[in-house]
Amino acid sequence: MAKALDISVIVPLYNEEESLPHLYEWIVRVMKANQFSYEVIFVNDGSTDGSWKVIEALSHQSSASGDEGGAVHGICFRRNYGKSAALYCGFKAAKGEVVITMDADLQDSPDEIPELYRMIKEDGFDLVSGWKQKRYDNALTKNIPSKLFNATARRVTGIRLHDMNCGLKAYRLEVVKNIEVFSEMHRYIPYLAKNAGFTKIGEKVVQHRKREFGSSKFGINRFVNGYLDLMTLWFLNKFGKQPMHFFGLVGSLMFLIGFIAVLVVGGMKWYALAHHVQAMLVGVNPYFHIAILMMILGCMLFLAGFLAELVIRNSPSRNDYLIKEEI
């Protein structure tokens, strides 16, 4: 029976042909110095430059060297799907006991790998996230928005990480095989892991290096999308299995408030008539129309929750639960 690999290094990339040879040589140097058995999985996210040719060359180089514990695997998308898709496919292919993810732009240092590996194997962490305490990015477009984003993420998720979106992370193999990264949820992998029951999440200060080649592929819009994705994840975690608990409660409250408002408007009109006081017609009273609208919206939200419950009950994943062990 073949011995399990120590480490799988997953490198998602888009148009990084200049950086790849340097990154691979650096990874190999660190692995050999620490006598790790490993594999490097390059996931080419639809690059339009020569990145895939470089990966093919590195794969042939690895095969020619005869190093069984240092294979290079390449996955090439037909078009650009995004980092989450690249990580999903990388996680699916990984075989190492510890999985390391890092960006291909040489801003993440492979020298961090041995300590990340130790924290998983010896300290017992399920996931260790890097923290680029000293950054070399533009403060206005990256550093300040990143700090605000991470502060919000800490508050919503309850995970005390300074840099949740750091590309340099280490995972126990079991973690990556039991979480599903989709859409643009790669920013919140620690939250996905926590929701799956992997609660031993740690952090390590890592070196951040200046980009040597090319330019960043991420714009300022990622922070806007990040907040929307965070709200989506929070809602799915809180009400994903019981949507009626949200829609039914909010809908019922809106209907009740609207109904009480209708009674108040009608009561005021009845009081005015009983005392022969001139009062506004109910049909032209704006509060009456607002109350009716709230009742209608309340009914619609309640029905939305009911329909969502029907969808959940017919979902094939409605009873998917992660079992830690059995006796």
Q: Please tell me the least confidently modeled range out of 15-29, 39-53, 243-257, 281-295.
A: 281-295
Read off the tokens for 163.
């840099």
- Asked if pLDDT for residue 28 goes beyond 80, the answer is yes
Helix (H) or strand (E) holding 100, with range, is: strand 98-101
- Asked if pLDDT for residue 120 goes beyond 80, the answer is yes
- Asked if pLDDT for residue 1 goes beyond 70, the answer is no
Judge whether 131 and 208 are in contact, CB under 8 Å.
no
pTM assigned to the model: 0.75
Read off the tokens for 158.
């309850």
Q: What is the pLDDT of residue 201?
A: 95
Can you tell me the mean pLDDT for 246-252? 87
Q: What pairs with residue 99 in β-bridges?
A: 8, 171
Q: What is the pLDDT of residue 51?
A: 94
Q: What is the pLDDT of residue 134?
A: 77
Can you tell me the mean pLDDT for 141-148? 69
Q: What is the pLDDT of residue 20?
A: 95
Helix (H) or strand (E) holding 128, with range, is: strand 127-131
pLDDT band at 324 (very low <50, low <70, confident <90, very high): low
Q: What is the pLDDT of residue 164?
A: 86
- Asked if pLDDT for residue 319 goes beyond 70, the answer is no
Can you tell me the mean pLDDT for 105-129? 94
Q: What is the pLDDT of residue 286?
A: 83
- Provide, for the chain, the percentages of residues in helix, strand and coil under a 3-state DSSP scheme, each rounded to the nearest 5: 50, 15, 35
Tell me what the pLDDT averaged over the chain comes to.
85
Can you tell me the mean pLDDT for 106-114? 93
pLDDT band at 143 (very low <50, low <70, confident <90, very high): low
pLDDT band at 68 (very low <50, low <70, confident <90, very high): low
**What distance in Å separates the CA atoms of residue 132 and residue 140, rounded to the nearest whole number?**
17
CA 146 to chain centroid:
15
**What distance in Å separates the CA atoms of residue 63 and residue 284, rounded to the nearest whole number?**
81
- Asked if pLDDT for residue 326 goes beyond 80, the answer is no
pLDDT per residue as tens digits for the range 224-241: 676 677 777 777 777 767
Name the packing angle between helices 51-65 and 20-33 (round to 10°).
30
pLDDT band at 114 (very low <50, low <70, confident <90, very high): very high
Can you tell me the mean pLDDT for 171-198? 90
Q: What pairs with residue 44 in β-bridges?
A: 13, 76
Can you tell me the mean pLDDT for 96-107? 94
